[in-house]
Amino acid sequence: MAVGWHRPTKLVIDTQAIKENVWNEVKRMPQGSELFAVVKANGYGHGAVQTAKAAILGGATGFCVAILDEAIELREAGITEPILILSIVDVSYIDVLLKYDLSVTVATQEWLEQAIDRLNHIETQGPLKIHIKVDTGMGRIGFTTPKTVKQAVELAQSTQLVVWEGLFTHFSTADEKDVSYFEKQTQRFQAVLSALFELPKYVHVSNSATALWHPDNVGNMIRFGIAMYGLNPSGHMLPEVYPLKPALSLVSQLIHVKELAAGEGIGYGNTYTTTENEWIGTIPIGYADGWLRHLQGFSVLVNGQKCEIVGRICMDQCMIRLPEKVSVGTTVTLVGHDHGADITLQMVADKLETIHYEVACTFSDRMPREYK
């Protein structure tokens, strides 16, 4: 996808905010613990490489990604810290894992057996670093019983072709007030730990929510994701333990301003009609950029004043109702701070009836990322 460097719409990423969010969490962690920054999905839409570099300055000692290609991107950008791929990687790519010195998730005995067999037949030097995933109630990937985890550990320890580097699980309700299911998952993971005679270098259960609201849980490493970008993992449900600094702003400019008489239709489907003489401004952003059609009726900021989006959002443009005539070229803040007013990703998410994770990840690569 072509990046729109020659139009005024852009995402502005505050790398100092990312650094401070990481540092504030590192200060809370027990001595000997490590923070791995989660930079999957292009750093939750913020930019993986730049986010990773800021996280290192804040004290991150490693990284988590979702897929192999995301890990390769970090390595080719000069990131040398440990990288864990959280999803399953096909065994046919083991030589690539070894080439880039990557750690990989093991979720089944069959995968581990196939991996060892392949390691026996390739020339690339090992060993392969593995983290065994325990499914304590997420229902996604991983071993489900202490017995099967123990069998996988025994197989890993029976060969020099792999190194059992980590053991982990993922909590599905750590960001909720009701802790009953969280405690159930915790008990299941404790049962796994009790069944093992030794533990690997890394034991990690803490995503952002667990790190913030359940800091006394087991483990010596946390996977710091959404909170690193300054966003509350629970949305509105739980208060922040310390101030999180949002790192992302979305800004554009007015490219066209006109006055329309009463009774004029705006946009596809004629879903908005002026009720009096109205000043209408056009912004060069649309649903192809991730500024979705359901945001009709939402507001953006112009000179600190809220201006409603009128008419359906188009693929590349949208229209807003201005309080008065405003000059072409005036800044429009779609997410961020402007003259004492704010629009947050959470507010956008509320309008879309979703979560801010999804909003940030929906912003397309057509919008350039500018780093402060």
* Structural domains of the chain ordered from first start: 15-229 (3.20.20.10), 248-343 (2.40.37.10)
pLDDT of 50-95, one tens digit each? 999 999 999 999 999 999 999 999 999 999 999 999 999 999 999 9
Residue 1's pLDDT is what? 85
- Mean pLDDT (whole number) for 310-328: 97
Q: Give yes or no for residue 142 having a pLDDT over 90.
A: yes
pLDDT of 323-368, one tens digit each? 999 999 999 999 999 999 999 999 999 999 999 999 999 999 999 9
- Mean pLDDT (whole number) for 227-248: 95
- Mean pLDDT (whole number) for 151-161: 96
Q: Give yes or no for residue 218 having a pLDDT over 90.
A: no
315 in a known ligand binding site: yes
140 in a known ligand binding site: yes
Pairing status of strand 299-302 against strand 331-338: antiparallel
Residue 244's pLDDT is what? 97
pLDDT of 262-304, one tens digit each? 999 999 999 999 999 999 999 999 999 999 999 999 999 999 9
Residue 124's pLDDT is what? 75
Residue 257's pLDDT is what? 98
HEC assignment per residue over 95-150: HHHHHCCCEEEECCHHHHHHHHHHHCCCCCCCCEEEEEEECCCCCCCCECCHHHHH
Residue 125's pLDDT is what? 77
Residue 365's pLDDT is what? 95
Mean residue pLDDT across the chain: 96
Helix ranges (DSSP H) in the chain? 15-26, 40-44, 48-58, 68-76, 94-99, 109-119, 146-157, 180-195, 208-213, 345-352, 356-362
Catalytic residue of the set 40, 53, 129, 133: 40
Residue 217's pLDDT is what? 85
Q: Give yes or no for residue 167 having a pLDDT over 80.
A: yes
Q: Is 268 a catalytic residue?
A: yes
Catalytic residue of the set 99, 184, 242, 268: 268
Residue 105's pLDDT is what? 98
- Mean pLDDT (whole number) for 216-227: 94
Residue 89's pLDDT is what? 98
Q: Long-range CB contacts (< 8 A, 24+ apart) of 152-160?
A: 152/106, 152/109, 152/112, 153/196, 155/109, 155/112, 155/113, 155/116, 156/106, 156/112, 156/130, 156/132, 159/116, 160/126, 160/127
Distance from C-alpha of 279 to C-alpha of 260, rounded to nearest angstrom: 6
Q: Is 93 a catalytic residue?
A: no
Report the share of the chain in percent with pLDDT over 70.
100
Residue 320's pLDDT is what? 98
DSSP string, 67-84: SHHHHHHHHHTT--S-EE
Local structure of residue 230 (DSSP, 8 states):
T
pLDDT of 177-206, one tens digit each? 999 999 999 999 999 999 999 999 999 999
pLDDT of 1-53, one tens digit each? 899 999 999 999 999 999 999 999 999 999 999 999 999 999 999 999 999 99
pLDDT class for 123, splitting at 50, 70, 90? confident
